[in-house]
Amino acid sequence: MNWIRRLITLALLLPCAPVVAHPDPHAAGNDEQPKARVLGRIDFPTTTRSMDAQEAFIRGVLLLHLFEYPFARLEFQRAQQLDPDFVMAYWGEAMVHNHPVWDEQDRDQALVVLNKLGPTSEARAARTTSQKERDYIRSLEVLYGEGTKAERDRDYMRQMAEMAQRYPDDHEVRLFYALSILGAGAGVRDIPAYMESAALSQSVFNANRQHPGAAHYLIHGVDDPVHAPLGLEAARALVVMAPDAGHSLHMASHIFTALGMWDDVVNANTRAVQVENAMATELGERSRHWGHYNFWLLYGLLQQGRDAEAKTLLTQAYQEVIAAGGGTETDPLILDPDNSQLGSVVQMWTRYLIETGGVDAKVAAWKFDMGEAYDPKLNDHYVWGLLSSDPDDVAAHLSAFRSLKARLKDDVMALPRQAPFDLLYLDRLAVIEHQLEATQARARGDTDTMMNHAREASRLEGEMPYSFGPPFVDMPSAQLWGELSLELGSHDEAAAAFAEQLKRSRLKAQALLGLARAERARGNAEAADYAMARYQQARAVSDGP
C-alpha cells in the first residue's frame, strides 16, 4: 500500500465536524412526481439555485451510493432538465457508468455525458465557479481518460486521495475515495486495502448513521468471515435506513452470510427480491426468480434445510429460462452468472443438487439449451462428475470438463485484457478439476489418490482471494475433504477438514454436521454436542422479517 495514501487516510480519520444531513429525499424534482423512496440521508451542497434540481440530485446520489444505477441516472437527468447549467448533475450521470466493485465501466457512455457538459475538459471546468465542483469534474477526466481501465482506476484513486486531503471534512469526497480504493482492486479482495477503505467508511458512518454510502461501503470493506462482525451494525442500519432499494437489503445479507446468520440471509434477500422486482416493473421489465439476490436466497434456504422452498424458487427460475427459449447465450465468455439468465439458473441448479446430494431425480433430469456458453456447460459436467459413482461416467465428465477448461483458458488469455474475475474463475476450475479427480479415484477404489486430490483441492481453494457470499466453489473443498475422510474412518483428519471449512464459511450446515459426526467418532462428546447445537442454530427459522 502506498505510504502517502496511508498518511492521507490516517489524517482523514481524525475527528472532524459532523455533517448535518436533512434534505428531503422524497421531494418532487419536476411536474412529474418521482416515486417516493426511503433511501437514507446525506448532505451534498452544490452551486445550483434550483431547489427542485438539488433535491433530484440528492436522490440521485443516494441511489448512486446504493448501486441502483438506472434510477440514479433518471434522477440526475431530471436535475439537468430542471437546471441545464447544473454541473454536478452531469457528474452524477457520468458516475452511473462506473461500477467499481463489479469491475465494470462503460467509458463511451460516460464520455457522451461529459460532452453534454462541454466539448473539452477546459470547457467543462469553466461551467462552474466552485473549485470543489471543478475537482469532481477533473476526477472524471481521469476516470474516463486515457490508458487501460486498471491504470485509470488507480489514477482515479490517487485523484480522490488528493481531494480527500484537500477537503478533509467532506463526507462525500471521503466516501468516493473509499469506493475508489475498492475499485482499484477490480473487485478482488485485498485485505490491507479493504481495511483502509472500511476505516474511511466507518468514520462517516459514525458521524451520520443515516448515510447509505457509509454503511454500504463499510460492508464491502469487511465482507469476509474474519472481519464481518465489524459490519454487523452497518448491515442492520442499512436495512432500516434504505428499505426501498433492493441492493441495500441484499447488501446486509453479505454480512449475514459471512457470519452464518441464515435466517437473516433469507429474510433480507426475500425482501430484496420483492423490491428489485417492483423496481424492474417501474422500468418496464419483468420480475424474475433468478439472478444475484435469488441465488443468495436459494443458498440461505438450503442452509436452513428448507429444501422444498428452495426447489419451488428453483423451479420458477427454470420455467422462466425455458420460456425465454432456453436462455442460450450469444457470448460464450460470460462467466459471471449474474450477467446471464442461463448462467444464473444453471448456477442455482448446480448449488441445489450439490447441497442436497443429488437426491431429487426430477430436478437432476432438467435439460438446458447451453449453446456454446462455457460457464453452464462446465457446471453441468461438474455436477454430474461429482455426484456419480460410476468410474466410466466420472471419467467422461472429467475429460469433457478438462477440454472445456483448456479451451476457455486459451480464449481468456487471448483477450486484450484479462479481467480479475476471469482469472479467479480459472483458479476455481483448477480446484474443481482436483475434486473431480478425487471423485474418479473414489469410484475406482484408489483411496490414496482420492485423498491426495481432495487435500490439494482444499489447499488451492484456501489460497484463492476470498470471494464474498456463498462458497465460490459449489462443493467447498475442505468440506469434501472432510466427507471423504469420514468415509475412510480418518476421523482426526475429518475433524480438521471440517473445522477448516467452518473458518471459510461460518455455520455452514453440512460442515457442522460433518464436524459433529467426526467428533462423535473420535469420542469427543462435548465437541460433538457443541457442533450439533451450532447446526441447530443454523437451521433455526423465525416467523418472518
Burial of 294 (0-12, 13-18, 19+ CB in 10 A): buried
What does the pLDDT read at residue 117? 96
State how far the Cα of 57 lies from the Cα of 89, in Å rounded to an integer.
Answer: 6
State how far the Cα of 214 lies from the Cα of 208, in Å rounded to an integer.
Answer: 8
State how far the Cα of 381 lies from the Cα of 377, in Å rounded to an integer.
Answer: 6
What does the pLDDT read at residue 185? 87
What SS3 state is found at 105? strand
Task: Assign a CATH topology to domain 3-242.
Answer: 1.25.40
Q: Indicate whether 101 pLDDT > 90.
A: yes
* Residue carrying the nine cell digits 440530485: 57
Residue 519, C-alpha cell as written in the block:
467428533
pLDDT tens-digit map of 164-210:
999 999 999 999 999 999 999 887 888 999 999 999 999 999 999 99
Percent pLDDT > 70 in the chain is 92
State how far the Cα of 462 lies from the Cα of 225, in Å rounded to an integer.
Answer: 13
- Mention every residue, 6+ apart, whose C-beta is less than 8 A from residue 116: 80, 90
For the whole prediction, is pTM greater than 0.85?
yes
What does the pLDDT read at residue 327? 58
Q: Indicate whether 9 pLDDT > 60.
A: no
pLDDT tens-digit map of 284-338:
999 999 999 999 999 999 999 999 999 999 999 999 999 988 655 568 899 999 9
Q: Are 498 and 518 in contact (CB under 8 A)?
A: yes
Under the banding of pLDDT at 50, 70 and 90, the label for residue 106 is: very high
The residue among 242, 257, 105, 234 whose CA lies nearest residue 180 is: 105
Q: Residue 399 corresponds to which amino acid?
A: S
What does the pLDDT read at residue 24? 39
What does the pLDDT read at residue 331? 85
pLDDT tens-digit map of 436-494:
999 999 999 999 999 999 999 999 999 998 878 999 999 999 999 999 999 999 999 99
Under the banding of pLDDT at 50, 70 and 90, the label for residue 543 is: low
Q: Indicate whether 3 pLDDT > 60.
A: no
Written out in words, the top-level CATH class of the domain with range 479-545 is: mainly alpha
- Spell out the long-range contacts of 108-111 with Cβ–Cβ below 8 A and sequence spacing 24 or more: 110/140, 110/143, 110/144, 111/144
Fold agreement between 3-242 and 479-545:
yes
39-58 burial, b at 16+ Cβ within 10 Å, e below that, comes to bbbbbbebbbebebbbbbbb
pLDDT tens-digit map of 139-161:
999 999 999 999 999 999 999 99
Alpha helices in 128-211 (DSSP H): 131-143, 149-166, 171-184, 191-207
State how far the Cα of 238 lies from the Cα of 216, in Å rounded to an integer.
Answer: 7
What does the pLDDT read at residue 36? 84
pLDDT tens-digit map of 381-435:
999 999 999 999 999 999 999 999 999 999 999 999 888 889 999 999 999 999 9
Q: Indicate whether 31 pLDDT > 80.
A: no
Average pLDDT taken over every residue of the chain? 92
CA atoms within 13 A on the CB side of 121: 12
Q: Indicate whether 97 pLDDT > 70.
A: yes
Q: Where do the structural domains in the chain lie, given as residue ranges?
A: 3-242, 322-475, 479-545
What does the pLDDT read at residue 21? 34
Average pLDDT of 278-283? 92
Average pLDDT of 103-120? 96
- Mention every residue, 6+ apart, whose C-beta is less than 8 A from residue 121: 137, 138, 141
